[in-house]
Chains A and B, each alone.
Chain A
Amino acid sequence: MKYLPLVWFGIWRKPGRTVLIFLQVAVAFTLFGVLQGLKTGVDHAISDTRADLLLVFSRLSRGEPLPLATLNQIKTVPGVRVAIPVDLFGGTYQRPTQWVLMVAITPDKDWTSAFTFEIPPAYLAAFQTSRTAALATEEIATKYGWKVGDRIPLESTIANSDGSTVWTFHLVGLFHDSDIGGGTEKILIQYPYFDEARLTHKGTVNHLNVAVQDPRMAFAVADEIDRRFANSANETRTQSLRELAQLNMQSIGDLNFLIRAIVAAVLVALLFATASMMMQSLRERTPELAVLKTLGFTDRAVFLLILTEATAVCATAALFGLVLAMVAFPLASKFIPGLSMPPIVVGVGIALAALVGLVSAAVPAMGAARIQIAAALANR
């Protein structure tokens, strides 16, 4: 403790340089914190994704239609609670650039349990009373200024029975999709109406959503569904929503590796920058350090003094950077919900910063400890 003033004044000997070191460490650890928060957010999002919700696609590709007849076979698989056919098609609203995804579903009993949609009961009831009813996400309704009760014409490449490619739906309510990977610009419509009205591809679906009775049975149910359609004309591939979320994440690369690689590159660059500044600083302080040794400070005391200075600056800057990252989370969470920084990340961040400080100061500190007093005082 008694050396603290000496450390403090050593740190602020050249305020400009100290501020520069502080800023570069703080920026590096803000990046570290944001990336770690991103990783936590993604992990959180994946773990929140339902594992009891299965999606049955064609084994050929996710775009290949399946016959609606598969629905009855799937319903007989033990463990299946609800199975709902889903078809998807795209349309545009007013302008070709204003794209809307239409999700056609059959609103059978308890159909919402096979989806991640949150629909107020009044809107749910209204949706079931009209064949041309539609529910829109809150986001798309806000974007295009839609209000409940509006009639919404959408242009599509799929023609309906009267030969027109314009599909008009009656907006009866709004909903929220808790699946962050599901997109927000979509509306729900009724599959029976859509299938009856379209000219082509009648009796097919894009996929089926299946809710299982027990989440622990999800893998077994998925295997059984695929087994039943094996070697048929419509082989299936069944995956849970969580599995799909994980696959989607893997498709952009190994996030953990990317984060570690970026953090490692930043830390190495930081190490060199900090070490070079420390060396310059200690060269300037050689006569002062020689005076300390003259007064009786041992080599070890001088070495520890320099290490403490560097570690204190780096650890404080890292803490500041991590706090900045935490401040940025509420802004970033609009894009990735669940961003957070567990205490372990703060601990690891400060430990890493201390390590950067120790390693970058180790060589200059050793040099300072080995100063030959007589030579240093004579400026030799």
Chain B
Amino acid sequence: MGPSGSGKTTLLNLIGGLDRPSTGQLTVAGERLDQMSGADLAHWRARHIGFVFQLYNLMPTISAERNVELPLLLTLLSSRERMVKVAAALELVGLLDRGKHQPGELSGGQQQRVAIARAIIADPKAAEVASRQLHIDKGQLVDGSASAAA
């Protein structure tokens, strides 16, 4: 919490590896992000960070399941393995039957759940946390700017 312009978004961007500090050191989970190259930082984000944006930022031209699959394209999983994980993630957020739909065909809440599925799919621990949270309240999952599930 803080007043406008106090640096909340900048801090989250730095922690999420989306931005780099102009000076100083930045260590997240024991890794020096300020010393990483652009490619290393991208790999680090793929391995450790799941993002759910305020406006969900789903790719509008591809289906929900393709959106959820995106982070897995960066792994060595086969197509079959990716689809199994995508189905599990969509089931977790209760959208297994909406996987073939494009974001424009989904409600705001459904889009949000697709974004959550995309954020957790590459990280089994995050999936477990999200699963517990979902069981508590499927309607009010995440509400904020960008939340990182590490």
State the A residues within 8 Å of B (CB). 2-3, 5-6, 9-10, 12-13, 287-288, 291-300, 372-374, 377-378
B61-A10 in contact (CB<8A): yes
Residues of B within 8 A of A297 (CB): 42, 74
A-B contact count (CB 8 A): 69
3 A-B pairs closest in CB distance: A296-B46, A374-B19, A9-B61
A292-B62 in contact (CB<8A): no
Residues of A within 8 A of B61 (CB): 9-10, 12-13
Tell me, rounded to whole Å, the shortest Cβ–Cβ distance linking A280 to chain B: 16
Residues of B within 8 A of A5 (CB): 62, 66
* Dominant secondary structure at the A interface: helix
**For residue B118, which residue of chain A has the nearest CB?**
A295
B18, B59, B74: the one contacting A9 at CB < 8 Å is B59
A6-B62 in contact (CB<8A): yes
A291-B71 in contact (CB<8A): no
Size category of the B interface is 20 to 34
B9, B18, B66: the one contacting A294 at CB < 8 Å is B18
How far is B145's CA from A70's CA once the two chains are assembled, in angstroms?
A: 101
B9, B66, B70: the one contacting A292 at CB < 8 Å is B70
Cβ of B6 < 8 Å from any Cβ of A? Answer: no
B10, B42, B82: the one contacting A293 at CB < 8 Å is B42
A295-B70 in contact (CB<8A): yes
B74-A295 in contact (CB<8A): yes
Within 40-68 of B, Cβ neighbours of A (below 8 Å) are at: 42-43, 45-47, 51, 53, 57, 59-62, 66
How far is B44's CA from A295's CA once the two chains are assembled, in angstroms?
A: 10
**For residue A14, which residue of chain B has the nearest CB?**
B61
Q: List 28 A-B contacts (CB under 8 A).
A: A5-B66, A6-B62, A6-B66, A6-B70, A6-B73, A9-B59, A9-B66, A10-B61, A13-B61, A287-B57, A292-B59, A294-B45, A295-B46, A295-B70, A295-B74, A295-B118, A296-B42, A296-B71, A298-B39, A298-B43, A299-B38, A299-B42, A372-B19, A373-B13, A373-B19, A377-B18, A377-B53, A378-B9
A298-B73 in contact (CB<8A): no
A300-B73 in contact (CB<8A): no
